[in-house]
C-alpha cells in the first residue's frame, strides 16, 4: 500500500504523468481500502500505514488551496481514526492521527495564521474536540 501511494506521488509530482487530482483520488481510495482491509485482517501495522498514507495525501497539495478544505479533509481523517478506534484498540493509529493533526495545525498556526482565519480555525478546533469526546 505504501509503495502504491509513493508511486502515485512520484507520478503526479516528480514526473507529471498522472494529474494531481487523479493521484489525490486514487491515494484516498487506496488508504480507505487499506483501513477496511486492516479491520478485516485485524492488522495494526496496516491500519497505521493506511492512516499515515491518508495524511501523506496532502503532500500532493501545492499549498494554495482554501484553508477550509484542508481542515475539512483533516476532519474526515480524524473521523476515520475515531471509527478505527471504536473497532480496535490500536494506540499507534490514534497517536499518528493526533501527532499529524496537532503538528500540522500547530505549524500552520505559528507560520501562516491570519486574524481572518479565526472563524475557520475555531470551527476545526471545536469539531476536533467534539470528535475526541
* Domain ranges for the chain: 2-132
- Alpha-carbon 81 to chain mean position: 10
Residue with cell 476532519: 75
Q: What is the mean pLDDT of residues 62-74?
A: 81
* Tens digits of residue pLDDT in 107-132: 888 988 888 888 888 888 887 766 55
**Could you give the CA distance from residue 106 to residue 130 in angstroms, rounded to a whole number?**
18
Most confident of 16-20, 59-63, 65-69: 16-20
* Tens digits of residue pLDDT in 77-96: 988 999 999 999 999 999 99
Integer Rg of the chain from CA: 15
Rounded to two decimals, the pTM is: 0.84
**Could you give the CA distance from residue 131 to residue 133 in angstroms, rounded to a whole number?**
6
Residue with cell 473521523: 79
Name the nearest CA neighbour of 81 among 69, 73, 72, 93.
93
Whether residue 75 has pLDDT greater than 70: yes
Residue with cell 476515520: 80
Amino acid at each position: 500500500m505504501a509503495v502504491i501511494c509513493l508511486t502515485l506521488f512520484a507520478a503526479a509530482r516528480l514526473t507529471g504523468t498522472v494529474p494531481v487530482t487523479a493521484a489525490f483520488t486514487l491515494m484516498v481510495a487506496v488508504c480507505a481500502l487499506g483501513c477496511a482491509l486492516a479491520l478485516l485482517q485485524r492488522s495494526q501495522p496496516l491500519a497505521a500505514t493506511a492512516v499515515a498514507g491518508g495524511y501523506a495525501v496532502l503532500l500532493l497539495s501545492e499549498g494554495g488551496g482554501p484553508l477550509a478544505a484542508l481542515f475539512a479533509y483533516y476532519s474526515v481523517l480524524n473521523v476515520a481514526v475515531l471509527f478505527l478506534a471504536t473497532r480496535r484498540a490500536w494506540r499507534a493509529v490514534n497517536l499518528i492521527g493526533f501527532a499529524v493533526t496537532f503538528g500540522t495545525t500547530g505549524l500552520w498556526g505559528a507560520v501562516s495564521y491570519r486574524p481572518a482565519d479565526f472563524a475557520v480555525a475555531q470551527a476545526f478546533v471545536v469539531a476536533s474536540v467534539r470528535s475526541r469526546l
